[in-house]
Amino acid sequence: MRQIQDISNPMLRKNLYFIVLTLVMAPFTLRAQQPSVYKVSRMPFNTGVFSEISPVMVQDGIVFCSDRRFSAFRDRKTFEGRRLYNLYITERRDSTRWEKPKEINSERSTLFNSGPLCFFHDGKTVYFTSEVETGKIASKKNFKNHLGIFIGELSGTDILSIRPFPYNSTQYEVGHPSLSDDGKYLFFASDMPGGQGGSDIYYCEWVNDQWSTPENLGPKVNSPDSENYPFMHPSGRLYFSSDRPGGKGKLDVYYTMLTLGSWEIPSIVPEPINSRYDDFAFVADEAMQTGYFSSNRSRSDDIYSFSSTIMRKASCDTLVENNYCYEFLEENAVKWDTLPFRYEWKFGDGTRGTGSIVEHCYPGPGKYLIQLDVVNLVTKEVMYNEKTYSLEITDIEQPYISSPDMGTTGQRIRFSAENTNLPGWNIDSYYWNFDDETIAIGKEVDKTYNRPGTYTIQMIVSTEPDPGGIVSEACVCKNITITSRP
């Protein structure tokens, strides 16, 4: 599995850098209005000299791969002298510090690579990448070994009962496993024949107690370049890394989603997760608030954490459209089917209506005097202003999102808070969350969606601090449906 190996090999990655640098940035570039939504920081347990890659989130910490020197006396290399990757686990000591990583051993640790990996939801069964051939032939000079997926049981810091994934091959690479949250789907990278070029993302389904034949995710997801490091997020988003043209540079993290039986065109994860360096092996918590990824932006492969700076309110009022339509009725008259009277209404905006029940829509807020004239059909007498009613129409006090309800992918859509009605509020900030991990700030902003779907937009307004330092905040949300551009 050359691509997979290449990524863990800094020398080979240089070639990719060159290729990627010659590519043109295009369709996945986010709009300039887009502020940074993630804050990243380098993890303290990175060695700086060796590589730390492919973090996996476990209960109290992370498991990752590293080719670090184990101790002053112990070091591991392949038969050819290349450094070997092994698995490590580290736990969080407090908000900033982490415990010293401990090695996770298996029968393969001494002579072969271990990782990247993933866990079944029981936290015990581990799927990890390692070489397929472990016999004597593997130690022969110029022997080309291939990576495969192996399944074992984690016991303490040991992986036991290791067995091979049935679709491993001595002819091509299979690795970088990622299980879906329910354990029914296994995603992985492979350069098996029949792909789109380079390594591609494949998946198998757990059917009748075995993994089904691998399926390629197809040309919408896989490019002629390499795709690897899949990560199936509980939300259904599939993150992966690719060195395809149009990214931020070298390897970048993308995501796609299965919608109506079809994988969507991948979207790129914004900066600063992606950079002009290699950025790969992205994982995130369920709420997408925190996570980790690997990058060589500081020369060696290191693990970085990220936290979302996106504001998304758990409690946000749904936008209520202002309704200027009213029903007027002569309360006693409507109790009778027929009355010898005619009810003539003047709505106070120059329009009229007739009947014991009438409806009228006003053009907007204002004060209106409704006058009811009644004609007695027996005596022909007209009772002018039999009753009057003073109606004051005001807009609902709420932040207001003015935008279309529908749009298409690629369409620039304007969102405005111009009609916000919060009397007495000295609004200082309009914050927009577009529900696709993008935000914008401003009273009037433009947004282009790249993928179809229904998005719940939140707009959060906040005031300048009052003399007591108190900031008032209000949130309103509205759905917009984006369809594919025909």
Partner 1 sequence: MKLKRTIYTILLSLSLSGLLQWTDTLGQEVPGRDENITFLVTFGREGETSWGDDDFYQVFFFAIPRDFNQQFYIRIFDPDVGGEHDEIQGDFNTRTLFSVYGGQGVDPDRNEESKGLNNGLNYKGGNLLASRVFGDEPRYDNKYFSFGPFNPTAGDFNTKWNSYIFKIVCEGIKGDDGNLYRYFLSRDPENNVPIEGANAFTYEYTFRMWNDFKSVAHIYPYVDTGVIYIRLRNFDWDSDGNILVVSRYKQGIDAPISGEDDWAESRIAIEPPEVGSSLDFQFHKRQGELVKNNNVVVTLENQRGDALQFFSSPIGGVPVYQASILVRKAKPK
Q: Tell the smallest beta-carbon distance from residue 368 to partner 1 (Å).
A: 10
Q: Tell the smallest beta-carbon distance from residue 382 to partner 1 (Å).
A: 14
If one asks whether residue 95 binds partner 1 (CB under 8 A), the answer comes out as no
Burial of 402 (0-12, 13-18, 19+ CB in 10 A): middle
Q: Tell the smallest beta-carbon distance from residue 361 to partner 1 (Å).
A: 6
Give the separation between CA 141 and CA 417, rounded to whole angstroms. 68
Choose between 329 and 427: whose C-beta lies nearer to partner 1.
Answer: 329
Choose between 313 and 346: whose C-beta lies nearer to partner 1.
Answer: 346
Contact 422, 399 (CB under 8 A): yes
In DSSP terms, 473 is beta-bridged to: 462
300-308 sheet: strands from edge to edge: 38-42, 300-308, 290-298, 279-284
Site string for partner 1, 343-382 (x = CB under 8 A): ----------------x-x--------x-x-x-x-xx---
Nearest residue to 398 (alpha-carbon basis) of 284, 477, 299, 484 = 477
How many chain residues touch partner 1 (CB under 8 A)? Answer: 30
Contact 233, 284 (CB under 8 A): yes
Q: Tell the smallest beta-carbon distance from residue 308 to partner 1 (Å).
A: 37
Contact 203, 256 (CB under 8 A): no
Choose between 317 and 386: whose C-beta lies nearer to partner 1.
Answer: 386
Among positions 388-417, residues that touch partner 1 (CB under 8 A) are 388-389, 391
The two beta strands, 117-119 and 341-346, are unpaired
* CA angle, residues 143, 147, 153, in degrees to nearest 5: 130
DSSP result, 70-98? -SSS---B-TTSPBPPEEEEEEB-SSS-B
If one asks whether residue 158 binds partner 1 (CB under 8 A), the answer comes out as no
Q: Tell the smallest beta-carbon distance from residue 336 to partner 1 (Å).
A: 6
If one asks whether residue 387 binds partner 1 (CB under 8 A), the answer comes out as yes
Give the separation between CA 398 and CA 377, rounded to whole angstroms. 47
Choose between 404 and 410: whose C-beta lies nearer to partner 1.
Answer: 404
In DSSP terms, 91 is beta-bridged to: 61
Choose between 23 and 333: whose C-beta lies nearer to partner 1.
Answer: 333
With a CB cutoff of 8 Å and minimum separation 6, the contacts of 212 are 204, 205, 206
Choose between 175 and 348: whose C-beta lies nearer to partner 1.
Answer: 348
Choose between 58 and 339: whose C-beta lies nearer to partner 1.
Answer: 339
Single out the segment in contact with partner 1 by CB under 8 A; choices: 217-225, 308-316, 385-393, 396-404: 385-393
Site string for partner 1, 306-345 (x = CB under 8 A): ---------------x-xxxxxxxxxxx--x-xxxx----
Give the separation between CA 84 and CA 130, rounded to whole angstroms. 10
Residue numbers at the binding site for partner 1 (CB under 8 A)? 321, 323-333, 336, 338-341, 359, 361, 370, 372, 374, 376, 378-379, 386-389, 391
